[in-house]
């Protein structure tokens, strides 16, 4: 069996898998620099828009940024890297059909102040193994700085499964990553993540890939 076949087998059983690095180091560095500039527009330049998702905190401090939505529409030269064929080819291996990218976002946890992400499923309107998210990890991540966690096999549960009960029954499995790793998860997976009380960033570019025959709500 090839490595990819093993990964696909794990993905089908668990609903997620770390596929390791996909891009060369210099490409990861460019993506990372691009992400840092986008974040800087919010933190340093005071840029605000509907695509910069954030929440207010008590006191005089600025809001906490947690997502740059519609990443492909932002003004940054590295956006073309998101259309590299390596990513779509990897996603196609998991979904088992040709794929198109259906969402791009920069998901981030600011050092020292980011809260956790409540447990959820991204979509339940599609069956298992039809739509996946590729997370290009721009920073090393572990439970300490709020890496992704999921319940293995939960992508196979019925659409109306109780997310909180599934989380509480577990097992909750953390998916630690190195810089440059790509994590693939089924959009039906029950997943969440903890806060980031560390001094380290946790930044991830998430791209959703779907079979083009599917009609997805945005």
Q: Are 93 and 8 in contact (CB under 8 A)?
A: yes
Choose between 29 and 176: whose C-beta lies nearer to Ni ion.
Answer: 176
Choose between 145 and 204: whose C-beta lies nearer to Ni ion.
Answer: 204
Beta pairing partners, 22: none
**Whole-number Å distance between alpha carbons of 52 and 124:** 25
Helices 3-14, 85-95: axis angle to 10 degrees equals 60
Choose between 122 and 140: whose C-beta lies nearer to Ni ion.
Answer: 122
CB of 191 to Ni ion, least distance (A): 6
| Contacts with Ni ion, 121-160, as mask; x by CB under 5 A | -x--------------------------------------
Choose between 41 and 114: whose C-beta lies nearer to Ni ion.
Answer: 114
Supply the DSSP symbol for 81: G
Choose between 88 and 132: whose C-beta lies nearer to Ni ion.
Answer: 132
3-state secondary structure 34-62: HHHHHHHHHHCCCCCCCCEEEECCCCCCC
Supply the DSSP symbol for 125: S
CB of 171 to Ni ion, least distance (A): 19
Q: How many residues bind Ni ion (CB under 5 A)?
A: 1
CB of 138 to Ni ion, least distance (A): 17
Supply the DSSP symbol for 177: B
CB of 44 to Ni ion, least distance (A): 28
CB of 120 to Ni ion, least distance (A): 6
CB of 119 to Ni ion, least distance (A): 9
Choose between 122 and 144: whose C-beta lies nearer to Ni ion.
Answer: 122
Closest residue to bound Ni ion by CB: 122
Neighbours of 31 (CB within 10 A): 22
**51 makes contact with Ni ion (CB under 5 A):** no
| Contacts with Ni ion, 86-125, as mask; x by CB under 5 A | ------------------------------------x---
Q: Which residue has the tokens 């981030």?
A: 108
Among 93, 69, 78, CA closest to 184: 93
Among 189, 166, 153, CA closest to 14: 153
Contact residues for Ni ion, defined by CB under 5 A = 122
């Amino acid at each position: 069996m090839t490595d990819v076949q093993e990964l696909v087998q794990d993905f089908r059983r668990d609903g997620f898998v770390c596929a390791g690095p996909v891009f060369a180091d210099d490409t990861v560095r460019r993506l990372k620099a691009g992400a840092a500039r986008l974040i800087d527009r919010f933190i340093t330049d005071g840029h605000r828009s509907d695509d910069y998702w954030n929440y207010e905190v008590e006191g005089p401090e600025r809001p906490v940024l947690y997502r740059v939505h519609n990443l492909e529409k932002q003004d940054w030269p590295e956006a073309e890297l998101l259309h590299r064929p390596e990513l779509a080819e990897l996603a196609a291996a998991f979904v088992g059909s040709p794929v198109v990218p259906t969402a791009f976002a920069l998901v981030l946890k600011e050092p020292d102040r980011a809260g956790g992400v409540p447990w959820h499923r991204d979509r339940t309107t599609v069956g298992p193994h039809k739509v996946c998210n590729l997370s290009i990890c721009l920073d090393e991540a572990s439970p300490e700085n709020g890496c992704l966690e999921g319940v293995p096999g939960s992508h196979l549960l019925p659409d109306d499964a109780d997310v909180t009960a599934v989380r509480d029954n577990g097992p909750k499995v953390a998916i630690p990553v190195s810089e440059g790793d790509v994590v693939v998860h089924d959009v039906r997976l029950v997943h969440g993540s903890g806060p980031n009380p560390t001094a380290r960033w946790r930044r991830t570019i998430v791209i959703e890939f779907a079979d083009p025959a599917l009609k997805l709500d945005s």
